[in-house]
Amino acid sequence: MDLAALRQEYMRAGLHEKDLEADPLAQFGNWFEEAMRSGIALPNAMTLATATKRGRPSARAVLLKGFDERGFVFYTHYRSRKGRELEENPQAMLLFCWEELERQVGIEGRASRVSAAESDEYFASRPLGSRLSAIVSPQSERVTNREALEILLEQAAKRWREAPPRPEHWGGYRLAPERFEFWQGRKDRLHDRLCYRKAAGGWKIERLAP
């Protein structure tokens, strides 16, 4: 397999300062709507990068479940690897990669837990199986085998039936953005990279070399 020969030319669009929204959240909203309309599977899928206090990184795909002027929300097990790392070091990064549109968006900031009421509301909206799995799964911990998890799930289903409560170990985080980077693929790898950085009273837009 010749990986060096795997190439793709980027020809779809460009990204110019004059076309950007002054507010990066509005710019993200525009791109997210385009991703939704494009038919991309799971346009809300994003890579969440975290790190320990000593800087050892880890990353995984999670789903965006809401965004507004306060930040970007996702849900997880608080005692999972990402949950433990966010407690040690709340600085994190989200990365959206919409390959079909030849676009990426990186968002850096500080993550904190959402309120219990907000977590309760979202938990109640999840499919029953997902709620039961959140109760029984010791996420990121070693388990004997799959059958052991399936037994726990069956026991939880019998106990809670249609109304499992949100476990205390499960809930949401909100990443409050401090930096955005919008990336648009361009011909000859001369990509467009436009960055928003927080400045006094607003956001400063800078172009970065590809």
DSSP 27-49: HHHHHHHHHHHHT-S-TTEEEEE
At residue 5, the pLDDT reads: 72
Q: Which of 1-15, 22-36, 105-119 shows the lowest mean pLDDT across its residues?
A: 1-15
Residue 209 confidence (pLDDT) above 90: yes
The Cα 181–Cα 183 span in angstroms is 6
Residue 46: pLDDT band with limits 50, 70, 90: very high
In the chain, what is the straight-line distance between the N-terminal and C-terminal CA atoms, in Å? 28
**Average pLDDT of the chain, as a whole number:** 95
Residue 52 confidence (pLDDT) above 90: yes
Active-site residue list: 189
Q: Which of 74-83, 96-105, 139-148 shows the lowest mean pLDDT across its residues?
A: 139-148
Q: What is the distance, to the nearest Å, from the Cα of residue 89 to the centroid of all Cα atoms in its chain?
A: 17
Percent of the chain with pLDDT over 70: 100
Query: Is pTM beyond 0.75 here?
Result: yes
Percent of the chain with pLDDT over 90: 90
At residue 2, the pLDDT reads: 78
Specify the higher pLDDT residue, 182 or 138.
Answer: 182
Signed CA dihedral, 181, 187, 189, 190: sign only: negative
Residues 91-113 have a mean pLDDT of 97
Residues 55-68 have a mean pLDDT of 98
Residue 196 confidence (pLDDT) above 80: yes
* Cα distances (angstroms) measured from residue 139 to each of 17, 57, 77: 43, 18, 7
CB 136 within 8 A of CB 170: no
The Cα 201–Cα 188 span in angstroms is 37
CB 183 within 8 A of CB 191: yes
At residue 9, the pLDDT reads: 73
At residue 21, the pLDDT reads: 97
Residues 32-51 have a mean pLDDT of 97
At residue 48, the pLDDT reads: 98
Q: Could you tell me which residues come within 8 angstroms of residue 170 by beta carbon, excluding any fewer than 6 positions away?
A: 75, 76, 77, 78, 119, 123, 134, 135
